[in-house]
Structure 1
């Protein structure tokens, strides 16, 4: 599920907080990375929607829990893909890989644990320091040595040190987990239910404005606990990658849900006004 491009209108306070609060700005890797011309923009990778003839490998991600999750103080080395998109835990990411250095990476990953780091990159803010592990759950290798992948988001990580830049990026990372809310009385279930209601209303009005049949939106929670549900909602904010990056970096589920609620409420107000104009001026 994704909102139409350009339909999501982040609130003014959400947008300004990116510039005002350093903790919400996409961070940067060591200067050796951002000064390197090869890594100031995304690598030559593209998304592919429907790969065929895919081979499967097991995925360790649980929709409700991370079983045997690594500890937050563990330091490991991880190959990185800088991309102009944000991957969330639990989200599915189709990719086509054709650049030589990333084909080399794939050959290595297929012999090891099939996990790599997806990290947001853009020309304005450089490369973020917080990303999400992508695990290859299906892959197809073509005769010209390109790869089609289906990846699933796993744990979040923070880059602590750049190990090397050639032939592809490898960094030392530590794992990132949500901390208990500062307000211990915060009702996460109630917040998640409010966010689900706003999301359903946004989908309904988006479909109406797009000329699609209006129908009841089904269960979006799917028994997800508040934290994975907050990641699911963030993954639907397509077209606003910097806002997605800010959501990914937050380490408090309640704060993430509140920010999503505010963004969805502002989006709903915009869609309601647009729907009213359409009712008055149908031809427009």
Structure 2
């Protein structure tokens, strides 16, 4: 990929990390057209957490997104029982938005800079002994039927992948997940995950 690139954005109330999968229901015409274009050209789009506005744009409203997101490609699609188009996307690489604007069909476009860290395909980094409990926690989370259905492939011997998946799967607010995505250092992300996990455990035990 070039250092900078122009891509369409898909603003959501969710945070996606590289290697993660996210099921989406598509019903707005602008996104039906975007998905069709991506399937034809074997391209993708950026997923960014909404900072302001709603996922569905209405007259007189606008969307504002966080400036760090993840590029995603469509890995599966089907017509859902409710008649809507369902797709599953997989994150590939983190990016940072340089400029962002809506085009005529209201799809947000952005010039992005690809991150030097946090992308699929990097050499594995072995988790340390004191991170073994995080690996065990991730294995437990992966056993949940909803997570199993995503068909994730995870190398538990790579602390980068462990951090990505824990950041997605822990029951913490989206703003906390966004803060984790914005970190460039895996060790720092794992330390922050430890702090969030301690908060979750205190809340559930009180």
Contact 1:159 1:171 in 2 (8 A): yes
| TM-score of the superposed pair, with normalisation by structure 2 | 0.74
Partner of 1:215: none
Displacement after TM superposition at 1:174 (Å): 1.0
Output aligned runs, 1:110-149, within 5 Å.
110-123=39-52, 126-140=64-78, 146-149=84-87
Partner of 1:192: 131
Q: 1:263 to 1:165 in 2, by over 3 A?
A: same
Partner of 2:191: 258
Higher strand share: 2
Contact 2:69 2:96 in 1 (8 A): yes
Question: Could you list the runs of 5+ residues in structure 2 that have no partner in the other structure?
Answer: 54-62, 119-125, 145-153
**Alignment partner of 1:228 is 2:166:** no
Contact 1:130 1:249 in 2 (8 A): yes
Q: 1:268 to 1:78 in 2, by over 3 A?
A: same
4+ residue stretches of structure 1 with deviation over 6 A?
none
Partner of 1:101: 30
Displacement after TM superposition at 1:166 (Å): 2.7
- Please, what is the CA RMSD of the aligned residues? 3.2
- After superposition, the C-alpha distances for 1:215-255 in whole angstroms (9 at most, x for unaligned) are xxxxxx74341112110110013451000000000011111
Partner of 2:179: 246
2:184 is paired with a residue of what secondary structure? coil
Hey, what's the Cα distance between the residues in 1 that align with 2:112 and 2:40?
21
Larger RCO (alpha carbons 8 Å, 6+ apart): 1
* Bigger Cα Rg: 1
Question: Could you list the runs of 5+ residues in structure 1 that have no partner in the other structure?
Answer: 1-69, 180-186, 208-220, 275-284
Of 8, 11, 15, the match for 1:86: 15
Of 161, 164, 169, the match for 2:108: 169
Q: Which moved more, 1:125-134 or 1:230-239?
A: 125-134
1:108 is paired with a residue of what secondary structure? helix
